Amino acid sequence: SRETTRERARHVADGRTRAVLALGSNQGDRVGLFRDAFAKLRRDLGFELHAHSSLYETAPAYVEDQGKFLNAACVGSFPDDVARDPLALLDGLKAIEAALGRDFGTRRYGPRPMDLDVIFHGQGSHSCDRLTVPHARYAERPFVLAPLADLTGAATATTTSDATTEGLLEARRIWDGTDGEVTAMESGDIARVIPMRDRLWSWGRETMVMGILNVTPDSFSDGGAYDGGVDVAVRHAREMVAAGATIIDVGGQSTRPGATRVSGEVESSRVIPVIRALAQAFREREDVYISVDTFYGAVASAAADAGADIINDVSGGAWDPAMLPTVARLEKPLPYVVMHVRGDPNSMQSAKNTTYDGHICDEVGDGLLATARRCVEYGIEPWRLWIDPGIGFAKTGRANIELLRDLPRVRSRLAPLGGALMNAPMLVGASRKRFLGEISGRSEASERDAASVAALVAAVRGGADVVRVHNVALSADAARVADALWR
């Protein structure tokens, strides 16, 4: 069933106080400072995250001769002894700002490494010379309203109401009343972003094509074609990039139904040399990214060191207990793709794992939400997550069709964790899968490219941001047409 914040509301009543915070930074390593702030909120102040906005890069306000800000908002709870008194919470936040290098003697509205503001507080309003809650100027600041609007799902999902709930709903009304999603987001003053490599990437304006590079002998579609050595793999990657791929997804073992699992050591020996060579081959390209398709934490870590930009995990952290803590600890905040799946390759297509009590889109969305919450519990920042509905994994052919028909319904179930998840890049991989062969009458996977393109267009229509494909040339053309129609 749909997740609510009932349990969180009970915890808040049991010695915890809820608050909505805004975060901002425009000095130093902004993303690194956001990671440090998130860690310190949890470790130093006992913060439990309920929902987090997307990250937004915004133009400076009031004082314009300074760099762009990275902004976000979150809602969660603190122990009462930390936050029931708003001034005690303020003191805790100021201590974190100071630890992250903020100089409180600089000009107002000027550059700062980290700014933590209390926007709404569970105990209601507060006013003194040190603090005003609700924040006095939040309603006039698009760079605050956009992140706050992302938290509406956390407010509407709750079974109880306090000042944070009421404040978030009011912020949403203000944002909608200013038509902020159009006037602000399309003006260029605000951009929804995610860290990728050493820059911030903004998505949603065009579909990214992820080319599949299997360096394994037993993939269902092209097993053995590109495991003839690093040079063969790199040559094929160059061909895919020339054909329109912007991401190369390197996999070292098959995860198709019934596949035999290989060890992390074997998988690593296959993918790490290729990833290292690709990182070197495309080192001058800012528009080409490398993804590693793995469910092993050790392989993910080695791939990150070798130059991978994305961790693509079909298990959502379920097949190796080391995966989630490993991703949380990565030196660079690589995006982590969480996919919906039940069971493993030996059991995923069993009747038990392909039977859903409710609508498939709701069940998949709720499953992704639960997986994302596990990621956050391990310390993975929610704005690093991408989502994948898992076409062909623990799904019947009919279920795959239902998912492609209504991907927005899947996304809508993610609202309780905030915009970081609900707005996250969605990856869809239907290319050459069996259900397309059953529909088209094509028993050979390599003959399903036309059917795959049809599925791709449906996915883009439903809000897919990244499509994982075998035939890059056909898929890139189809994606461009779909983008022209619907983006």
DSSP structure class, residue 67 = P
Work out the number of other CB atoms within 10 angstroms of the CB of residue 133.
Answer: 23
Runs of H (alpha helix) within 353-417: 360-377, 397-405, 407-412
Can you read off the two tokens belonging to residue 216?
A: 């394994």
Work out the number of other CB atoms within 10 angstroms of the CB of residue 392.
Answer: 26
Q: How far apart are CA 210 and CA 107, in angstroms?
A: 46
Can you read off the two tokens belonging to residue 284?
A: 């001058």
Query: Is 199 buried (19+), middle (13-18) or exposed (0-12) by CB count in 10 A?
Result: exposed
- DSSP, collapsed to helix, strand or coil, labels residue 195 as strand
DSSP secondary structure letters along 278-309: HHHHTTT-TT-EEEEE---HHHHHHHHHHT--
Residue 433 annotated to the active site: yes
Strands (E), 176-263: 190-196, 199-201, 208-214, 247-251
The answer to whether 363 and 357 have CB atoms below 8 angstroms apart is: yes
Q: How far apart are CA 427 and CA 210, in angstroms?
A: 9
**Single-letter residue type at 239:** E
202 contacts: CB under 8 Å, gap ≥ 6: 57, 191, 192, 193
Kindly report the backbone phi and psi dihedral angles of residue 24, in degrees, each rounded to the nearest multiple of 5, phi listed first: -150, 145
The answer to whether 219 and 254 have CB atoms below 8 angstroms apart is: yes
Q: Among the options 16, 35, 395, 433, which is catalytic? A: 433
In sign, the C-alpha dihedral spanning 275, 276, 277, 281 is positive
Residue 10 annotated to the active site: no
Q: Which neighbouring-strand residues pair with 49?
A: 76
Q: Among the options 8, 172, 256, 468, which is catalytic? A: 468
Q: Which residues are catalytic?
A: 433, 468
